[in-house]
Structure 1
C-alpha cells in the first residue's frame, strides 16, 4: 500500500466538509480551500503511519496555511502513535488536526480547533518541591539505570548517617532530617529497624547504603 491510496478517502472527507480539494500543490500532499476572501487554506500531509517526519512536515506547512491536518493509516493493533496521548497532546499544542484512515473510511481523531492541554498544577508543584528540596545536583540528567538521588533518598541517607553512631530517636535527627519521623516509620529502603519504642537503629542494608552513597 502506498500513500496515494489514502488520497481518495481523504479527498471525499474534506469535500464533505465543503472544501475544494486538490493533490500535490506546491509540495503539499493535499490542499483544500474554503470559500471566502481570502479563502481558508488547509494543508493535509499524509504518511502510512503517524511519525516524526509527518509531524515535521506539518510544522513546515503551518506557515503557509490556516490549518494543518496530519493523516495516516490507523494501526491494526491499537499501538500506533495515534493512540499515544503524548502524540495527541503535542498535536493539540501545535494546533494540528489528526485524521485516521482505515480502508475507505476516515476518522476524525483530533480537531485543529481542540484547545491545548491544560497544565497540571499538582505535577508542577511536585517538580518545584523536589527541585527545591534536593541538596546540590546529585544526579546527572539522562541516566535511568541507576537509582536517582531524590530529595527523599538524601534525607534518608542523612538519617542513616546519624544512626550509624548508634540508636537514636526521630526527634534527635530533625536538625538534619526534618521528616525523620516519617522516613523511619515508613522505612522504604529497609535501612532502619525499631530497636524499641521510639528508638531506631541502622540495619545492614543501611550500612551498605552509606558505603554506596556518601552522606549528604
Structure 2
C-alpha cells in the first residue's frame, strides 16, 4: 500500500528541516519550513511511477514551492524510474522524483526545481492554515477510503 512509503519519505523530508504531515488538503504529504513565509513542499505517493502520479503532481504545483513524487523502485530496476523519458518529463515539469527501496531507503532520482511561479494563493493559504491547525500527525499519507483527521474534527 501507499502508506508503506509514507514513513520513509516523511523521515527523508524531515531530515531537510521540514515539518511533515500526511493527508493535508488532499495531498499525501505536506512539509512546511520554519521560514516566514513558509516553503511548502508537497509529495505524492504511489506504488509505481505512472501517469496518474504525474498528473497529481502537476495539480499540486499551483499551491507549493516544490513538488515531489515518490514510488517504490522496481525489484529489477527496469520500471519507470529507469525510463529516461519519464525522468525527462519530471525534470521539464519541475517535479522531483524519489525512489523508495524495499528496505525503506529513499533516493533522489530527479531533483525538484521551480521552473514557473504558477501559484494559487487561495489554495496555498488554505493548505498552510490546515497544516498549522493540526495537532501532531494524525493521518498516514497515502491512505484511501479511511476518514482523515482534520483540524476541525
What is the TM-score when the length of structure 2 is the normalising length?
0.72
- Assess if the C-alpha contact under 8 Å between 2:2 and 2:46 holds in 1: yes
For the residues of structure 2 that align with 1:114 and 1:57, how far apart are their CA atoms? Answer: 16
- Hey, what's the Cα distance between the residues in 1 that align with 2:85 and 2:48? 16
Aligned to 1:17: 16
Greater relative contact order: 1 or 2 (C-alpha under 8 angstroms, separation 6 or more)?
A: 2
Q: Is the contact between residue 22 and residue 29 of structure 2 (CA under 8 Å) also seen in structure 1?
A: yes
The answer to whether the Cα contact below 8 Å between 1:92 and 1:114 also exists between their aligned partners in 2 is no
Where is the helix percentage greater, Structure 1 or Structure 2? Answer: 1
Q: Counterpart of 1:49 in 2: which secondary structure?
A: coil
State the 1:114 CA deviation: 8.9
2:23 is aligned with 1:46: no
Q: Which residue of 2 aligns with 1:6?
A: 5
Q: Report Cα offsets for 1:120-171 as digits up to 9, x if no partner.
A: xxxxxxxxxxxxxxxxxxxxxxxxxxxxxxxxxxxxxxxxxxxxxxxxxxxx
User: Residue in 2 aligned with 1:135?
Assistant: none
Distance between the aligned counterparts of 1:114 and 1:64, measured in 2?
Answer: 12
CA contact under 8 A between 1:41 and 1:65: conserved in structure 2? yes
Q: CA RMSD in A?
A: 1.3
The number of aligned residues is: 114
Counterpart of 1:90 in 2: which secondary structure?
helix
SS at match of 1:38: coil
| Structure 2 counterparts to residues 12-161 of structure 1, below 5 A | 12-102=11-101, 103-113=103-113
| CA distance in structure 1 between the aligned counterparts of 2:26 and 2:113, rounded to whole angstroms | 25
Structure 1 residues 3 and 85: alpha-carbon distance in aligned structure 2, compared to 1, 3 A threshold: same
Determine the C-alpha separation between the residues in 2 that align with 1:90 and 1:71. Answer: 15
By how many angstroms is 1:79 displaced? 1.3
Normalized against structure 1, the TM-score is what? 0.51
Structure 1 unaligned regions, length at least 5: 116-216
Equivalent-residue separation in structure 2 for 1:89 and 1:105 (angstroms): 23
Q: Distance in 1 between matches of 2:87 and 2:108?
A: 12
| Per-residue deviation, residues 172-202 of structure 1 (Å, max 9, x unmatched) | xxxxxxxxxxxxxxxxxxxxxxxxxxxxxxx
1:86-123: CA deviation from partner (whole Å, max 9, x where unpaired): 001010000000000012210111111398xxxxxxxx
Matches within 5 A, 1:192-203: none
Q: Call closer, same or farther: CA 1:13–1:47 in 2, change over 3 Å.
A: same
